[in-house]
Amino acid sequence: MTDDVTIRAAAGSDLDALAELAGSRDRAEVRLQAAARGDDSMLVAVTAGVVVGVNSVRWRDGCDPPHPWLYGLAVDASHRRRGIGTELVRAAETMSSERDAGTVSLDVDVDDPAAIAFYEQLGYVIARAHEHRWRAIDPRTGAVTGEGIVPTWIMRRPLDQR
C-alpha cells in the first residue's frame, strides 16, 4: 500500500466525503446507518486527512449467504492504481476471518471487465450468474425510492488461500 494511507471504520463525520464515493449522499447515509446498526462494517481509506476510498461488508442477508458480502468498493479516481482498493478489500477479508468466515463473496456487473480483472488478481473467482436486485432507500424515512435488477457475476474467495 502507499505508505500514507490509513484504513479505518467510517464515521458519521465522513458523510460529506462519502457522498461522492458512494454515488449519492442518501446512499452514503444508508450505508453508515447499516454500519451503526451492526448489519454492516464500513471501511474508509484516508490519506492526508482526506477520505479517498470506501468499502462495506454486510454480515447478514447479503446476496450469497452465508458468506460475508463485500459491496460498495470505490476509490477516488485521482488515487487509483496505488493499492488502495486492494487494501480496502484485504481489510474486509481480515474482518471476515476474525468472524470465522471461510469465504467472502461479492458481485460485479457482467459488463465491467475492469472490476472483474481487479477482483481476479485478488484471488476472486466467478462462482455463478446473479440477478442483483438493488433498492434506493430514503435514509430519513426508510422508504424505497427506486429499485431495479442488474445482471452480475457472483465472485468468491476462500480466506484460507493466503
Ligand X SMILES: CC(C)(COP(=O)(O)OP(=O)(O)OC[C@H]1O[C@@H](n2cnc3c(N)ncnc32)[C@H](O)[C@@H]1OP(=O)(O)O)[C@@H](O)C(=O)NCCC(=O)NCCS
Is there a contact between 147 and 112 (Cβ–Cβ < 8 Å)? no
Q: Hey, what's the cell of 53?
A: 476510498
Residue 85 in contact with ligand X, rule: CB under 6 A? yes
Considering the complex, what minimum distance in angstroms separates the CB of residue 121 from ligand X?
4
- Cβ partners under 8 Å of residue 101, min gap 6: 67, 68, 159
Considering the complex, what minimum distance in angstroms separates the CB of residue 26 from ligand X?
18
Considering the complex, what minimum distance in angstroms separates the CB of residue 105 from ligand X?
12
Tell which one of 7, 108, 137, 155 touches ligand X (CB under 6 A).
108
Give the nearer residue to ligand X in terms of CB position, either 88 or 101. Answer: 88
Which of 15-43 are b and which e, b meaning 16 or more Cβ less than 10 Å from the residue's Cβ? bebbeebbeeebbbbbbbbbbeeebbbbb
Query: Pairing state of beta strands 69-75 and 144-158?
Result: unpaired
Which residues inside 44-83 make contact with ligand X, applying CB under 6 A?
Answer: 73-75, 80-83
Give the nearer residue to ligand X in terms of CB position, either 138 or 162. Answer: 162
Considering the complex, what minimum distance in angstroms separates the CB of residue 29 from ligand X?
19
